[in-house]
Structure 1
Amino acid sequence: MSKGFMKSGLVGEMSAEFAGTFILILFGCGVVAQVVTAELGDHDSISWAWGLGVTLGIYVAGRLSGAHLNPAVTLALAVFKDFSWRKVGPYVIAQIAGAFVAALLVRWNYTEMLAKFDPGHTFKSQFVFSTLPGNGSFPISEWGALRDQIIGTGILLFVIFAVTDLLNNPPGANMAPFIIGLIVVAIGMAWGTDAGYAINPARDLGPRLASYITGYNTAWRDQYNNFYFWVPIVGPLIGGVLGAAFYRMLIGRYLAKAGEQEPGRVPAAGDR
């Protein structure tokens, strides 16, 4: 394989990660902007739109890059699934860039609504783009939010590893993207209060940067004036690796042993 082909292959994968994350954020930040500024919808519609955004983003990017769309996923796959470490940086850059550009588009499209709802561009509408502890309303510290992000992303990666493990019983007929979207919906409905379930450093950092350069001067801080931007970066990276590790420890290693002990077993539908 020539170096030129390998280079163009990585460029294609980065393009897919950019596009998939772009689609994810269009639906995710878009629905929050609609609910916050126009009161069209509620928490459940936010959870569903984020989940569907994940599903659609995976369908967009899946064939070329595997559709990580999340640095926590990329890191966990590098640690546990032999994903190439040399691709980790390029994938993360593409994911953040896709999230950033999509958030700029949401910011532009909702310019008038945001200006009417929050003329000063304050925390009142900041969480359209990036997360805040306690969703900006409840008494959660950055340390409580960090705990929440570790747990939430751990759940995400634990179940993603389960539904994509060919030795398990993964969903067939290309249904995995839909199931992964449902995982995000469930996390939003059950783990959304403490920190807004970023569970994805690119999802938070890209839109946070977009909001900062378009008038949100407090984008890097929380409502208590603490530097907060690091929480939805560090928490998911830790949680993702821990969730994947727990899957390997509790489930994955036993599936591998079962496969060795039953070499003639009939594969499940998802194994093919």
Structure 2
Amino acid sequence: MPENGHLSRLETGELELGVTDALQKHATRHVVPPKPVSQRKLEFEHKRPRILRECMAEATGVFFYVFPGIAAIAQFTVNAEAALPVPFYSNLLQVGFAFALGIALAIITCAPVSGGHFNPAITLSLAIWQGFPWKKVPHYILSQIFGSFIAGLVLLGCYWPEIRALRDANIAMHGTAVFNGGAASILCSFPNPTQTNQGYLFMQEFFVDSFIGIVIWSCLDPANPFVTPVSVPFTIGLAYATMIWGFAANTISTNLARDLGTRIVAAIFFGREAFTYHNSYSWIAILVNIPATIFATGYYEFLIRDSLQKISQGHAQHEDGEDGLVRHLTRTGTMDMEQGYTSALRGNQGSYENGVEKKRSVAT
């Protein structure tokens, strides 16, 4: 435990950039009295690569997010085809909640280790805007896709008798199981037969993903007074659910890792048509999330973010320190009204010199 009283990760002195703010104080709370840590365990964890922990956390988090979501879709699709009372068993409302709660549980469970990106577009945005190490980006993205791939395999294992029967019925009736409402659509999205214009599909995916991206970035803004670390997982989850309720029947993907990992599983079990269906719609489902999220985060950074408020609350400092901030306030004519800011910064200067921020940016 360092002298300043803040809990630090072994050897790093900080938590990874991501959804980890709550841990700085929450991790000191003991629900159950812990047993003493053995020297053997400490030595094992010391030798274990940090990047391995982070990659496994990203893969596990994506699994936690995708598995309940596609399970709800499986229940909805299988029961619909079996002519069962669908509202009793599943509907799009339940699918939305499954994804929302899956995301919340993924953040709560795995974000303390990796930062809780769970989306290649969020990883890239954090690298662009928040200084996340570029050397870690490929590891994170591959781990996220792997987690989705495993979720698809496990779901097929759980539902295989029902999915196999549905696949056979689809082939007998339509000649394929790859279409919206078919067995393959349990794993990944496909457009409706009437959605022949890819421009509309692109626009829909772009703005759905932008909506989610802006909500995520606002949750990660430490100057946002309406979101606490405890509420961030559920707020981000509800942003996804809101878009599912509004557009799932009209085909959306929202996440490269979520779509690509399960689409690979669909291609293994249902054929390459999983990637080529409907004039290769899959490129929209897989790739549009990245430019849309970068656009959304850039929109927030350039047009909404208030960095002076972020500094004044002790969540960041000027790149030239307190002197640089004073020069800025003087040059912009806000020195008189910002005296409280500079006084507060002087009081926090000691903690800055120790490299400890009161609150860091968070992500999912």
The equivalent of 2:134 in structure 1 is 85
Any gaps of 5 or more consecutive residues in structure 1? none
Does structure 1 residue 233 correspond to structure 2 residue 286?
Answer: yes
What is the aligned length?
A: 264
The equivalent of 1:76 in structure 2 is 125
Does structure 1 residue 190 correspond to structure 2 residue 243?
Answer: no
Distance 1:92 1:11 in 2: 13
The equivalent of 1:169 in structure 2 is 225
Query: Secondary structure of 2:304's partner?
Result: helix
Query: Secondary structure of 2:227's partner?
Result: coil
Distance 2:224 2:276 in 1: 42
Distance 2:157 2:68 in 1: 14
Does structure 1 residue 113 correspond to structure 2 residue 166?
Answer: no
CA change 1:115–1:66 in 2 (3 A) is same
Shift of 1:6: 9.9
Shift of 1:127: 1.4
Query: Secondary structure of 1:220's partner?
Result: helix
Shift of 1:193: 4.1
Shift of 1:31: 0.7
Distance 1:33 1:19 in 2: 21
The equivalent of 2:256 in structure 1 is 201
- Summarize deviations over 1:186-241 as a string: whole Å, max 9, x none: 12122334432x1100000000001111234411023x3x1122112221000000
- Summarize deviations over 1:67-113 as a string: whole Å, max 9, x none: 11110111111111111111110000000000001101111211111
Shift of 1:16: 0.1
Shift of 1:182: 0.9
Distance 1:25 1:168 in 2: 28
Letter in 2 for 1:17: E
Equivalences for 1:100-179 in 2 at 5 Å?
A: 100-119=149-168, 120=171, 121-123=177-179, 124-133=182-191, 136-169=192-225, 171-172=227-228, 174-179=230-235
Distance 2:242 2:344 in 1: 33
Does structure 1 residue 55 correspond to structure 2 residue 104?
Answer: yes
Query: Secondary structure of 1:192's partner?
Result: helix
Any gaps of 5 or more consecutive residues in structure 2? 1-10, 13-44, 81-88, 172-176, 313-324, 326-337, 346-357
Shift of 1:53: 1.1
Does the CA-based 8 Å contact 1:167-1:271 persist in structure 2? Answer: no
| Aligned mate of 2:275, from 214, 220, 223 | 220
Does the CA-based 8 Å contact 1:61-1:67 persist in structure 2? Answer: yes
Letter in 2 for 1:152: V
Query: Secondary structure of 1:191's partner?
Result: helix
Distance 1:81 1:109 in 2: 40
Distance 1:18 1:128 in 2: 20
Query: Secondary structure of 2:274's partner?
Result: coil
Where in structure 1 do 4 or more consecutive aligned residues deviate above 6 Å? Answer: 4-7
Query: Secondary structure of 2:282's partner?
Result: coil
| Aligned mate of 2:266, from 203, 211, 214 | 211
Distance 2:233 2:255 in 1: 16
The worse-fitting range, judged by mean Cα deviation, of 162-171 and 187-196 is: 187-196
Structure number with bigger Rg: 2
User: Cα RMSD (Å) of the superposition?
Assistant: 2.6
Distance 1:7 1:141 in 2: 50
Equivalences for 1:28-67 in 2 at 5 Å?
A: 28-39=69-80, 40-67=89-116
Q: TM-score, with normalisation over the residues of structure 1? A: 0.88
Query: Secondary structure of 1:187's partner?
Result: helix
CA change 1:257–1:13 in 2 (3 A) is closer
- Summarize deviations over 1:12-65 as a string: whole Å, max 9, x none: 100100100011111111110110002321111111111111111111211001
Q: TM-score, with normalisation over the residues of structure 2? A: 0.67
Does structure 1 residue 249 correspond to structure 2 residue 302?
Answer: yes
- Summarize deviations over 1:134-185 as a string: whole Å, max 9, x none: xx34425333222222211111111111112112225225221111111111
Distance 2:162 2:292 in 1: 35
* Percentage of identical aligned residues: 25
CA change 1:15–1:178 in 2 (3 A) is same
